[in-house]
Structure 1
Amino acid sequence: MKKSKLVMSTLVTMVGLSAILSGCGTSSTPKSGGNADKAQPTTAATASSEKKVSFQWLAHTAYSAKSSDPKRVEYINTSLENYKKAHPNVEIDSRDYDGKVSNLMIMASGDRAPDAAMIDAYMLPKFYKYLQPLDSYFEKAGLKIDDFFPFAQSIMKGPDGKIYGIQFTTDTRVLYYRKDLVPTPPKTWDEVIQVGTKLKAAGYDALLMPAGRAEAASVSVVLPMFLSQGGELVNNEGKAVFGEGANREKMLNVFNFLKKAADTGVTPKRSANIKNEADQNGDIATDKVAMFIGGNWQVNQLKDTLGAERFAKYAVAPVPTMSGENAVAMSGGWAWGLFTKDPDKQKAAFDFLMQTYMGDKGMANWTTIGGYLPPRKSVYDNADFKGNEFTKTFREIMEKTGRARPASDDYTVISEQLQIAASSVVSGSLSPEDALNNAWKVLSQK
């Protein structure tokens, strides 16, 4: 009797140990690769033994399930649903924010950053010390850093050579011109004035531009014209230098050109009140605009406004430069970064972001739905990416001339002062010298 009880007790103990070991056996379960498009199917048996993981991701509202665009919302919710079906052990805490870098920096510096977050791409370098390297995830997902445009690579890679973020959208600025009015787009500022003077005499707004007090005046007008001369906006420490030495002369060249364009009527003075590229669309719809500086995202907007036939009159080219060479196109966009040090959360977040925004299909679908451009060259050949008649030119311009804004703590103030200066010169309220002196005075006293 005692022997039978001993045998029974031993069997119960072995069964209990087996159950415990089974419940803790996630470390022996093979993990799927970094590419969420290739996620391994999860069976009921493996799901019950997988470790529960919960991660929080923070997206700009326009890129989240709270976007005002129903197509974006549908896409994100579908991706969330599909991911949860394939990863029943993962819980996702979806949050959104206004995209202000200062707010995210406060969270990161206080060790309160979300596990994954969207960051305005040009500011990614400010977060290197808080972000986790992604090199191993790149390798597992089959991503190649060389597949990204050079300006994106320079942002994504830290000074130690490691990858700290993935840019997943981008954009660019170009010169739009009416082919029936401008058979050959001007390359130099002098050509702009020559061609523009004739167009003005014929009753056209020769060159419209967003020269109002908003970011577009900096990234679409002033910076491309300044940087194309070899100008330096900030030094290695991120401090403004545009008002010193040779840089001052190059910035003054920009404002002198803007003054000449406005004084001759080539650029209408009302451009001083145009804040954003798309704010020009109403003027363009009058058929009295021969050329304008705008963004790639205006293609679909103008097609809707003008209709395909009228829009077909337009073509695109690099923004003219002083010499006609070394054009610069400011390219923006957003990036994802991982703050969490937990490897399970890292993997879960990376897989979801790959599926939704960063992988071949994810980036192709998201940029198509959102009207963005992919920062990865290979995605342009993906069947899911739907471009337009100018996509090839946009890609070439970005690949050859794309530049990102500097990740400087002073950039916001620099941009504000350049906006004020440009608007003042175009409106005629300040001379180029006074406008530049005022801008530089603010920065030099910081």
Structure 2
Amino acid sequence: MATIDRHPQRRTLRARALAAGAAIALLAPLAACGSDEGGVPVLNLYQFPVENLQNVVDRCNQQAAGKYKIVYQVLPRAADDQRVQMVRRLAAKDDSMDILGMDVTWTQEFASADWIKEWTGADRAEIENGTLPGPLASAEYEGKLYAAPNNTNVQLLWYRKDLVPTPPKTWAEMIQMSQQLKNEGKTYQVVTMGAQYEGLVVLFNSLVASAGGKVVSDDGKTAIMDAGAVKGLETLKTFATAGVTTPSFSNALEDDVRLAFQNGGGAFQLNWPFVYASMQSDAPDLAKNVGWARYPGIDPNTPSVTTIGGSNVAVSSYSKHPDLAFEAAKCLRDREAQKYLAINAGQPPSIEAIYDDADMAKAYPMKDTLLEELQNAAPRPRTPAYQNLSTVVAAQLSPPSSIQPQQTATDLKKSIQDAIDSKGVLP
């Protein structure tokens, strides 16, 4: 069996982005290959840019020994653009689509539209075996499995150890520490994502989940906005108006936050683990003084709950070779592939046992905290109308300083119900 080269040249975050952009330029507009190549069935994998994913594809193709050939069709970098391209092709029943690399928020939508095939029998058992429960839940719809978790992610609290010897456990404690640093004339800001986009929805969802609340019913059909959701709004409002954010908070995206903290502009950062590698390469002196901890919670006696990220792989309902596509999809997300991409592409694995491997420690020194959060991470509201829901939630929460908790909750409940019912929101 062919193996993956485990020592490709490492690149900085900027170089990775440039390389991925070049790959898109070479492949756009996407033109899927034919259904066979020299008598070998071609399986088109549509997925966002992932550094070194081609090495995984090559390994699976060698392992297939001529049974099939996977061709990596690189989607745009932006999640919205990825989804639009996939939705258009799937709605047209494009039979050149075989394997789909999907954002975790798309499972409900794609499954409800019958665009992806259910994983059953031995295939389902193989995927469920050893996969973390949070990622697995993101691949389910109405009790059935429609995708295989490929990687996962949660945000952590990053803090300056030279400013804060002990990390805060709650938002209230973090705000208090920040205000104290401010009074002492020290670096004090809490930097995180507050722009009107999915990052703000993720922030809100984590606050609601940490407060034990719900935005949508378990079946995804009814807007709830219970007391926990109101508590989440109260916490977000308090944070946005406490004088501890940067002036750019309401416009900040992930990379803006990374750069602000990396350049010495914050005492705390709430962001995904990708910031660690960036600090090591671009700000090594600062990195020596940066620690990590669990995402802050609401109640000091209750562990925080963080929104889960990541991606899943699914088999298109229109594939000409569905059996081979399932086989190939399993290879693309197996233990070897996930460990390789964890170390060489910054994608935390969805298979729990990989975190115990010795060579994970260098790439993920924060892996124990990451795994602890992943054990009880929260999915985003699971509804086929998630794209609509996310649009209206981001709009009504922006800017966070304007939130009026009880009134905003009432308005959100109506808007979310309209979104679920597909009223007045463009997909």
TM over 0.5: yes
Q: Which residue of structure 2 aligns with residue 61 of structure 1?
A: 48
What is the DSSP-based 3-state SS (H/G/I as helix, E as strand, rest coil) of the residue aligned with 2:296? coil
Higher helix share: 1
Structure 1 Cα separation of the partners of residues 146 and 2 of structure 2: 19
Matched, 1:443 2:416: yes
Offset of 1:132 from its aligned partner? Answer: 3.8
Q: Which residue of 1 aligns with 2:18?
A: none
User: Is 1:207 aligned to 2:190, yes or no?
Assistant: yes
Whole-angstrom distance in 1 between the partners of 2:386 and 2:316: 24
Equivalent in 204, 210, 216 of residue 228 of structure 1:
210
Which position in structure 2 is the counterpart of 1:279?
256
Matched letter for residue 103 of structure 2: D
- What amino acid maps onto 2:260 in structure 1? D
Q: Which runs of 5+ in 1 are unaligned?
A: 1-34, 38-50, 64-68
**Cα offset for 1:345?**
3.1
Letter in 2 for 1:416: T
Rate the CA distance shift 1:326–1:430 in 2: closer, same or farther, 3 A: closer
Which residue does 1:20 correspond to in 2?
none
Cross-structure match for 1:197: 179
On the 8 A contact 1:165/1:338 being kept in 2, the answer is: yes
2:143 & 2:224 partners in 1: Cα distance? 28
Partners of 1:159 and 1:260 lie apart in 2 by 37
Equivalent-residue separation in structure 1 for 2:370 and 2:107 (angstroms): 23
- Provide closer, same or farther for how the CA distance between residues 286 and 132 of structure 1 changes in structure 2, counting only shifts above 3 A: closer
Amino acid at match of 2:43: Q
**1:172 and 1:410 mapped to 2: Cα distance?**
23
Q: Aligned partners of 2:404, 2:330: CA distance in 1, in Å?
A: 50
- Kindly indicate whether the alpha-carbon contact (under 8 Å) linking 1:273 and 1:423 is maintained by their aligned counterparts in 2: no
Bigger radius of gyration: 1
- The answer to whether 1:250 aligns with 2:228 is yes
CA contact (8 A) 1:58 1:97 kept: no
Q: Residue in 2 aligned with 1:12?
A: none
What is the CA distance between 1:200 and its match in structure 2?
1.7
Structure-1 separation of matches of 2:359 and 2:175: 42
1:292 aligns to 2:301 (yes or no): no
How do 1:397-416 residues align onto structure 2 when only pairs under 5 Å count?
397-399=373-375, 401-416=376-391
Note if 1:156 corresponds to 2:139: yes
User: Alignment partner of 2:321: what SS?
Assistant: helix
Cα 1:112–1:79 change in 2 (3 A) is same
Contact 1:146 1:153 in 2 (8 A): no
Give, as a single letter, the amino acid of the residue that structure 1 aligns with 2:392: Q
Q: Which 4+ residue blocks in structure 1 deviate beyond 6 angstroms?
A: none
The structural deviation recorded for 1:137 is 3.5
1:137 counterpart residue number? 123
Cα distance change, pair 267–380 in 1 and its aligned pair in 2 (3 A)? same
Aligned residue in 2 for 1:321: 297
Q: How many pairs align? A: 375
1:389-400 matches, within 5 Å, as 389-399=365-375
> What is the CA distance between 1:256 and its match in structure 2?
2.8
User: Any conservation in 1 of the 2:214–2:229 contact (CA below 8 Å)?
Assistant: no
The match for 2:155 among 162, 169, 173 is 173
Report deviation, 1:288: 4.0
Assess if the C-alpha contact under 8 Å between 2:153 and 2:348 holds in 1.
Answer: yes
One-letter code of the match for 1:119? Answer: M
Contact 1:175 1:292 in 2 (8 A): yes
In 1: Cα distance, 2:40 partner to 2:120 partner: 19
Aligned equivalents of 2:288, 2:385: Cα separation in 1:
41
Q: Does 1:378 align with 2:353?
A: yes
Moved more, 333-342 or 182-191: 333-342
Partner AA of 1:278 in structure 2: D
How far 1:311 moved relative to its partner?
A: 0.9
SS of match in other structure, 1:147: coil
The answer on whether the counterparts of 1:52 and 1:90 sit within 8 Å (CA) in structure 2 is: no
Deviations 1:67-102 (A, max 9, x none): xx5x445x256436635xx52353445434346445
Give the CA RMSD over aligned residues. Answer: 3.2
**Change over 3 Å in CA distance of 1:259–1:299 after alignment to 2:** same
Letter paired with 1:149: L
Tell me the alpha carbon deviations over residues 329-385 of structure 1, each in whole angstroms, 9 at most, x when there is no partner.
11111111123588x934533444444x31221111122222110000122234675
Residue 345 of structure 1 is matched in structure 2 by 321
SS at match of 2:399: helix
> C-alpha distance in 2, partners of 1:133/1:262?
43
CA pair 115-340 structure 1, distance change in 2 beyond 3 A: farther
Q: Please say if residues 2 and 62 of structure 2, whose CA atoms lie closer than 8 Å, have aligned partners that are also in contact.
A: no
Residue 239 of structure 2 aligns with which residue? Answer: 261
Give, as a single letter, the amino acid of the residue that structure 1 aligns with 2:276: V
Name the structure 1 match of 2:340.
365
- Closer, same or farther: CA 411–346 of 1 in aligned 2, 3 Å: closer
Tell me what 1:217 maps to.
200
Change (3 A) 1:240 1:280: farther
The answer as to whether partners of 2:152 and 2:350 remain within 8 angstroms in 1 is: yes
- Contact in 2 for aligned 1:115/1:339 (Cα 8 Å): yes
1:214 and 1:228 mapped to 2: Cα distance?
Answer: 21
Distance 1:159 1:254 in 2: 27
Q: Which of 61, 85, 88 pairs up with 2:66?
A: 88
Q: For residues 417 and 125 of structure 1, what CA distance do their matches in structure 2 show?
A: 18
Unpaired runs of 5+ residues, structure 2, are 4-37
Amino acid in structure 1 at the alignment position of 2:314: G
* Equivalent residue letter for 1:57: N
